[in-house]
Homo-oligomer: A and B are copies of this chain.
């Protein structure tokens, strides 16, 4: 506390001012809001990333580990933020930023997100959310309906049922996937006679009870890295996340899957869950979900579909069939901050069986009491914001048909871009787009031709050099800040080898064919740099 009382009173008054919602239009608040809006708008129209500063230079402005003693004026702080944070953030909404799962957002999301922040509801319990709880329950029911297409009379007994939840609203797909596998694990080891269930007794006793030596999750090698975290977190161990090889289209190989299951049986390891992917992160492919559903049924294990990316394809009359079989999944993850076009930090998981989430149900004395409709009794997270409102808004304002248009456009644009890559002599398509993601690499036609006939050793040497080209190309393009693609490493069937490839995600409706042409044109310019030319000369030296 300040030493003299006058200073103390002045500080207190400042404090009250900071916390008071101004009754009349407040010039300070309005000015900041305006300054920020102007700046964002200006910024968003100019850059993808600010090009003039390296990460290390930026770090210099965020290097003190001491919380300042004295308060700073809001205006001074806002200036700092504009200059050092906003100006050096990434324009994830730019139509030329096609390397990650980002997009422009529908404009109504911004004022509604602001409303959500202002109301500051906490969805863990009805007492701090009231109408937001039924709203979130409805959003989960709508997603459930999108996936499972149950008849209208299925929902009334469940949607607002205090004993259950049709799904869980999460901070993202990782928590959604973890929740799904947590539920699967707890259902596999449900209470049984004197065994009180894994939730109570733990994994070691659960394994003893069932007389097995471990439990495993099976997914293709294209599975998202969050599944590895889940396997670690849930106590399975990463070795028991079985990554099954894929076919030429990055879909799980069913024959290899059967072999892996046989090996698990030999090791006395129980299959906990089979995970199908609807839209792999790196290539956008969809596993054969019908066949996986059959196989999960045969194994008697949980069938989870990670549709974090591809789930909204279900909006499309034309492409919905690609996800055929998803309605047989025990649980499905769909991210709202991806193709539902909601701002960052919103994922969902829905369960076919409306009582499934009881497997992780929990209560407390001060909230989440038995019989309450508090959503927190069925979620991994505790306090949560009212983000479901933004999904609710999207569902209503964009509507099923609006989302269908977005999905169709993305898939068709990916086909167009694939054609552009295929027709360009200097690029090689490394994965065919099934949804709206594809990969390719820089590989001049004559190198492609040489690779087609070269012996294995020579191919490996050439591809290693092309990997370096790809890495540098992506880095320089990112640093130039005009357009952006990402990169990954991927086993490419045609080459029977893991390659570094460029990755493009086409979900931003503002991305045009012209912009995609510019992405390729910029890449052709970048490879002219001496560093990359030297590598390409080494490539040629390998086959001449």
Contacts and interface: CB of A to CB of B under 8 A. Distances in A.
A295 interface: no
Contacts of A380: 174-175, 178, 229, 233
Contact of A202 (B100, B117, B236, B487): B236
Top-10 shortest CB links A-B: A202-B237, A235-B235, A203-B235, A366-B488, A88-B131, A171-B171, A174-B382, A62-B138, A65-B155, A344-B385
B72 A396 contact: yes
A291 interface: no
Contact of A130 (B77, B90, B234, B396): B90
A285 to B, nearest CB: 14
B366 A487 contact: yes
Given A112-B81, A118-B110, A344-B384, A402 B15 contact: yes
Interface centre among A29, A107, A129 (most CB of B within 10 A): A107
A402 B85 contact: no
A244 interface: no
Contacts of A128: 90, 92, 100, 102
Contact of A398 (B18, B50, B144): B18
Contacts of A445: none
10 contacts: A19-B104, A62-B138, A77-B397, A89-B119, A100-B122, A120-B343, A201-B239, A225-B364, A225-B368, A281-B366
Given A92-B121, A113-B114, A366-B486, A237 B200 contact: yes
A2 to B, nearest CB: 8
A33 B366 contact: no
Given A131-B58, A233-B233, A110 B106 contact: no
Nearest to A366: B488
B171 A486 contact: no
B120 A92 contact: yes
Given A107-B18, A130-B90, A395 B29 contact: no
Interface stretch (A36-44, A422-430, A514-522): A36-44
